[in-house]
Every structure is written in structure tokens, then in C-alpha cells.
Amino acid sequence: MDAKRTLSDLEDAVLSLISEDEIVAFHRGLVQIPSVNPPGDCVDNIAFVQKPLEEAGFSIDYIFDDPTQPNIAASYGPTGGKKLLVNAHVDVVPIGERSAWKHEPFGAEVEDGKIYGRGAGDDKASVTAQVIASLALQRSGIPLKGQLIYTCVSDEENGGVHGASLVAEKYPDPDWAIVGEQTLNRVAVGEKGGAGVQFVVHGKTAHGALPWEGANAIEGAAEIIVALRREYWPKLKDRVHWAFKPSSASVNMISGGVKANVVPDRATLLIDRRIVPGEKPDDVRNEMFEIAKQAIQNVPGCTVEMEIGFPGKEANANAVTDPLVVAMLGANEKLGLNTEPTGFSMGTDGRFWNAKGVPTIIYGPGDPSLAHIPDEWVGIDEMVDAARAYAVAMVRLLGDYEGNNN
């Protein structure tokens, strides 16, 4: 092929090979294979994804430290140039109460242009769109200047220790990374950071009929909650960044108590703190701790300590002028999709590459508000649009065409 073909020629060659029927068949087959985490067994899912890529000639790297939670990296294109890593996960959360579902959780039923099932959106829609785009790129035979590394992982829903964390150690230095999650096919230039924390309140037990003899740890925890809501939560709405919803915090777990007739001597609060660019995990935790220490003084005899399980991470946001963002926004513009960049509120596997300094964006079909709920679904048209957009971005970043200076 002529290496000087135009960008439009290369894009059209790849787009012509993306089939809605293939997308639907692949997606339904994937959803019909359970991959609930926990326990996290994704062997059959990874095998399902690997098969067409291997048959197409992709070089397959099988990566795991737990044989039930494997991952693959499928590479295509010349080495020595730029590298684009694309990622999505196949593990899904439990279905919850079966009675809450109208559709079979793993039936992949099609109704009114939607496919229903656990993982239909999160994250098997992104997996499907990425695989189909990767296959179209290979089948087109267009000339490439760089290499595509498609990665499919397990264990995202449980922290990624057995999944993307391992893959990022094996493939730490791509030039760009696109992580598939539900963004409504909008270009998310980054993701919020996290600074979760647990406050442990200590008190003193006493008989429930003699509460003045003890120090009630649950009442101490209540004082902390009220103080945070009154003094701290309102400030967060003013901590903003153009790509994200405001900084946020929520008391998501509370535990304590010994027995119905015993004054509790211990209570714990778990706070989910999501941060925007400019905030630091240690700083925001200390802000909350200072308020907690003041509030606990309202319950004589109680003390509070702070426990940190997860070290936390800062938010990240790539510049809209970054070649990766430009390519993805350009793909959406070509296809008539949303061209307003945004940010992603949830955590993703992208954090593993972002921590290594790799420009990383989040993009994929589906609505994040439908994740983890009964009758989860994704629109077939959304997956088709995503596959086409991924493919165009791949061509723009890796294609050998006149004017590609990446």
C-alpha cells in the first residue's frame, strides 16, 4: 500500500470492516459467560476474547499471578515506533437479588436495540468495541507507523491487583493509553483521585442502664458525622475543575456496638473521599481528621484515630492539546459524536498507567449510572459508535499517512 495515502482513506478502509452483526454476536457471547468478582474467575472470558485476536495474527502475551484471573496483551503492528495501549476488563460485580431482575442476568437478551445482562455495559461493551476495532485495523492491512497493544484484564472490580496492575508492570511505557469504561462515548481526559479514610472512635463500656459510667463510641462517631456535614461538606462544592463534578465525600460505612445493653467502646466510620486536580490525599485526610478531633471532644472519654488502608491517588487530567485527546475528540467529530471533553468520576484501571506518567484517557459506550444495577443494559448503537471511534483514533495515532507527526 502507498504510505502516503490520506488519513481519510485509511479511516474509511478500517471503518468499512466494522459490522454491527459481529459486534452483537461477540458482545452477547461474552455477557453469557459469567465472570463475577468475587470470586473473579475470568478464564473462559479471556479465552473468548483471545481466540479471534490470535486467529487474526495478533501476538498474544498471557499474564497472570492467579490462574483463575488471567490477562492478555495482544499486539499488532511494527515495533520501534509509537505504542498505543487500549484496555478494558471482563470481570463483573455480583448480580445481587435475582428477584430484582426482569431479564436473565447472563442471558444477553436483546430488546428494543439494547442488550441486557450483568456486565453488558460495565465493562463488556468496551471490551467488545475495542476488540472489534482492533480486528478491523488488522483486517484492513493499512500501513502503520506504530504498534497497537490491546489488553483485556481480570480483577478490575476488586482493585486490579491480579489484573491491570500486573499488565502495567509488563507494559509500563506505552506512549498513550485508552481505558474503556462507560462514558456515554464522551472523551474523559482523566479521572478523579481518591483519599478514602477510616476513623476509629474509642470509648468505654458500661452497662446500658448506667450510660454515665461509660463513654459511648457510637455517639462520638455521630458527632463526627454531624461536624463533617456541617463544616466540611459545604466547602467541597467550591473545589472544582473544568473536567469534573466538584470534590466530594460520603460516609459510606459505619460499624460499632457490643450488645443491646452495653455502652459501645468502639465505632468505625469509613469515608469515601473523591478529589479533583489540585487536592492531595494526605492534605484532605488531615482536614477531615482535624474536624473529627474537635468533634469528639463533645463526648467526654472518647478519642478518635485515623486509619489509612489505601494510600490514595491524585486526580489526573490531560490537556485537551495532548495528541491522544486530540485524536479521540477528532474521532468523535468525524463520526458526529460528542466533542466536549469531560472527566470521569469513578476510579479506573487507567490509574496504573497514569501513575507511570502515561497520558491516559477514559472512553467507552454505556451510561455509568446503569453499572452494578439490576437489568444493566447497553445500546447496540452505542457499541457500534464506540468501535468506530476507537478505530478512527487508532488510525490517527498509529497510521502511516501524510501529515502524521505523532
Cell numbers standing for residue 34 = 459469567
Confidence at residue 310, expressed as pLDDT on a 0 to 100 scale: 84
**Which domains, from first to last, does the chain contain?**
7-192+315-398 (3.40.630.10), 193-307 (3.30.70.360)
| Cis upstream peptide for 39 (omega within 30°) | yes
Confidence at residue 382, expressed as pLDDT on a 0 to 100 scale: 98
Confidence at residue 406, expressed as pLDDT on a 0 to 100 scale: 87
Cα distance between residue 134 and residue 52, in whole Å: 10
Confidence at residue 3, expressed as pLDDT on a 0 to 100 scale: 47
Confidence at residue 4, expressed as pLDDT on a 0 to 100 scale: 63
Q: Are 30 and 44 in contact (CB under 8 A)?
A: no
Residue 270, C-beta contacts closer than 8 angstroms, at least 6 positions apart:
196, 197, 198, 251, 252, 253, 254
Cα distance between residue 51 and residue 56, in whole Å: 9
Confidence at residue 73, expressed as pLDDT on a 0 to 100 scale: 98
pLDDT in tens, the chain (406 residues): 444 689 999 999 999 999 999 999 999 999 999 999 999 999 999 999 999 999 999 999 999 999 999 999 999 999 999 999 999 999 999 999 999 999 999 999 999 999 999 999 999 999 999 999 999 999 999 999 999 999 999 999 999 999 999 999 999 999 999 999 999 999 999 999 999 999 999 999 999 999 999 999 999 999 999 999 999 999 999 999 999 999 999 999 999 999 999 999 999 999 999 999 999 999 999 999 999 999 999 999 999 999 998 889 999 999 999 999 999 999 999 999 999 999 999 999 999 999 999 999 999 999 999 999 999 999 999 999 999 999 999 999 999 998 888 8
* Degrees to nearest 5, angle at CA 320 with 318 and 325: 80
